[in-house]
Homo-oligomer: A and B are copies of this chain.
């Protein structure tokens, strides 16, 4: 029955995600993944054609609906600051939900051969472009400084979010919403005392 198969296949992806996240792609064995899901090593190949395919699926699983959510956020007409908060919230929340798969996507995807990364690359580019156009919107709205390099800021935002995302995965006790708020605050206002800021 296809439904049951797809269901267990998903647990296989999650098991692979957990193992890859902890040991890295090359450091993990198919034995580890099988053990994680309570089956024997050989049985794993009922769900994956190869270890490499498993990595690809984990990465796509972790990244796909995260980009979709970004698209929804950016489609709405909203003031810049609200949109930006939503973006960071989405990004960091994803780490608490599909934390292992996200971590694997960030840390291990380059071990995939190029031909297995085309889809991931598309998704990544799409994400960055959405972020960049949100920033440009912010400039047009007069909220964001006109002299920033949107490309640079987009990369930096992704960098900070991934860096804190990794911490959220490692440290369960870290408060998600406090982290979100602090990230937004830092990127919007910086760290210096502001000339006249009633905030």
The minimal Cβ–Cβ distance linking A47 to chain B, given in whole angstroms, is: 23
A107 adjacent to chain B (CB < 8 Å): yes
B191 and A144 within 8 A (CB): yes
Q: Pick the contact of A27: B25, B135, B167, B192 (CB < 8 A).
A: B25
A162 adjacent to chain B (CB < 8 Å): yes
B190 and A190 within 8 A (CB): yes
A111 and B144 within 8 A (CB): no
The minimal Cβ–Cβ distance linking A44 to chain B, given in whole angstroms, is: 19
Listed stretches A58-66, A91-99, A118-126, A181-189; interface member: A181-189
A182 and B144 within 8 A (CB): no
A35 adjacent to chain B (CB < 8 Å): no
B residues in contact with A158, CB < 8 Å: 163
Chain A residues numbered 64-123 whose CB sits less than 8 Å from any CB in chain B:
81, 107, 111
Ordered by A's residue number, 9 sampled pairs between the chains whose C-beta atoms are within 8 Å are A107-B107, A142-B193, A144-B192, A152-B179, A153-B191, A156-B163, A188-B191, A189-B190, A194-B195
Q: Pick the contact of A192: B145, B179, B195 (CB < 8 A).
A: B145
A26 adjacent to chain B (CB < 8 Å): yes
A39 adjacent to chain B (CB < 8 Å): no
Q: Which residue of B lies closest to A183 (CB)?
A: B156
A 13-34 binary contact with B (CB < 8 Å = 1; else 0): 0000000000111110000000
The minimal Cβ–Cβ distance linking A33 to chain B, given in whole angstroms, is: 15
A148 and B191 within 8 A (CB): yes
A164 adjacent to chain B (CB < 8 Å): yes
A 151-178 binary contact with B (CB < 8 Å = 1; else 0): 0110110111011100100000000000
The CA-CA distance from A192 to B160 in the complex, in Å, is 17
